[in-house]
């Protein structure tokens, strides 16, 4: 039975506590599984906890209950990769969840690249954004910071150059700006994607004070963010369909594709395109022509905006 005392974690000032993150992540993943889902014989008829018990998870992973309990209490310093793999299989983790578990249990040290450093955008990358004159393109960094974008992205999502630098952030936009709740047809899906990516960042960079501050701010200001953050869901969204309701051209169904930088995996180039010949493609063409006219007229929408 699950009667081991839960540890009390004291996070360091200005940072998320990786021990507490590891503990909560494992408990939420265990809670979503039932014995019958994984072919484990249930211990007893009455269950006091949702999902699998620790004993059942330990049995499935082939480790002792005491060993797994220490791990779930945040003591992952000496756990082997093989044990983490076994637990990931037992919990039926996705690839992103497996990577997140590894980061939490074995946090890396980032001595050469401080977690709170300013994220720089190379000149050639800004030039690349300039050349993508028919495709909305955005460079997104850690903490969901919007680092740079082209004028087509501004035409679709709004001109972020008008915002203070600290507000150029997907999490702040999605949870704190009413116009973005209206822009995304499935706002809940977009919100969940943003929070899931923040969770991935938290696992990879637990000592980032800016991320901790962002999570604290959003937790105070948004009940929806608190709910989604508490779920501990993680995923690395690389592609999909983004449905928008644009105030000028109406419905847009855009295909999202994202690419990690080879020299900076924490940054992604995110592009959006419409199927050729579709109403969304025509709508994008119209937005592009209006954006070009506005740019040539010097109306405040220069190419390759950057934070």
Q: Is the pLDDT of residue 292 over 60?
A: no
Angle at 102 between CA 96 and CA 106, to 5 degrees: 150
Cα atoms in the Cβ-side hemisphere of radius 13 Å centred on 220:
5
Please give the mean pLDDT across all residues of the chain. 83
User: What average pLDDT does range 31-58 have in this prediction?
Assistant: 76
- pLDDT tens for residues 103-141? 898 876 544 454 445 667 777 888 888 888 889 999 999
pLDDT for 195-242, tens place per residue?
999 999 888 887 888 999 999 999 999 999 999 999 999 987 788 999
Domains of the chain: 18-105 (1.10.260.40), 123-306 (3.30.450.180)
State pLDDT tens for residues 170-189.
Answer: 999 999 999 999 999 999 99
Please check the confidence at residue 155 and state whether its pLDDT lies above 70. Answer: yes
Residue 101: exposure state from Cβ atoms within 10 A (0-12, 13-18, ≥19): buried
* Cα–Cα distance for residue pair 36/282, rounded to 1 Å: 50
**Which CA distances in Å does 141 have to 98, 102, 158, 224?**
22, 21, 18, 23
Please give the pLDDT value at position 239. Answer: 87
pTM score, whole prediction: 0.81
- The encoded tokens of residue 224 equal 């929806």
Q: Give the E-state strand segments of 116-200 in sequence order.
A: 137-140, 146-149
């Amino acid at each position: 039975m699950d009667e081991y005392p839960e540890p009390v974690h004291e996070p360091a000032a200005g940072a998320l506590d990786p021990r507490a993150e590891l503990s909560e992540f494992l408990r939420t993943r265990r809670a979503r599984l039932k014995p019958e889902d994984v072919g484990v014989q249930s211990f007893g008829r009455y269950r006091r906890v949702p999902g699998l018990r620790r004993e059942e998870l330990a049995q499935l992973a082939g480790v002792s209950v005491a060993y797994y309990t220490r791990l779930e209490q945040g003591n992952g310093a000496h756990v082997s990769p093989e044990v983490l793999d076994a637990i990931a299989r037992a919990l039926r983790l996705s690839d992103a969840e497996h990577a997140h578990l590894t980061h939490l249990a074995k946090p890396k040290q980032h001595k050469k690249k401080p977690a709170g450093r300013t994220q720089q955008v190379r000149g050639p990358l800004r030039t690349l954004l300039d050349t993508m004159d028919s495709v909305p393109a955005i460079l997104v960094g850690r903490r969901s910071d919007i680092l740079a974008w082209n004028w087509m992205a501004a035409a679709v999502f709004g001109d972020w150059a008008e915002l203070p630098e600290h507000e150029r952030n997907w999490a702040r936009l999605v949870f704190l700006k009413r116009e973005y709740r209206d822009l995304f047809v499935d706002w809940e899906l977009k919100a969940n994607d943003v929070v899931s990516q923040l969770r991935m960042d938290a696992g990879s960079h637990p000592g980032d004070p800016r991320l901790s501050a962002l999570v604290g701010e959003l937790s105070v200001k948004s009940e929806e963010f608190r709910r989604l953050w508490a779920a501990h869901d993680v995923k690395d969204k690389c592609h999909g369909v983004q449905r928008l309701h644009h105030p000028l051209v109406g419905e847009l169904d855009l295909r999202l594709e994202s690419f990690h930088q080879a020299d900076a995996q924490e940054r992604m180039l995110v592009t959006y395109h419409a199927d050729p010949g579709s109403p969304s493609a025509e709508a994008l063409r119209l937005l592009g022509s209006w954006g070009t006219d506005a740019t040539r007229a010097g109306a405040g929408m220069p190419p390759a905006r950057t934070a």
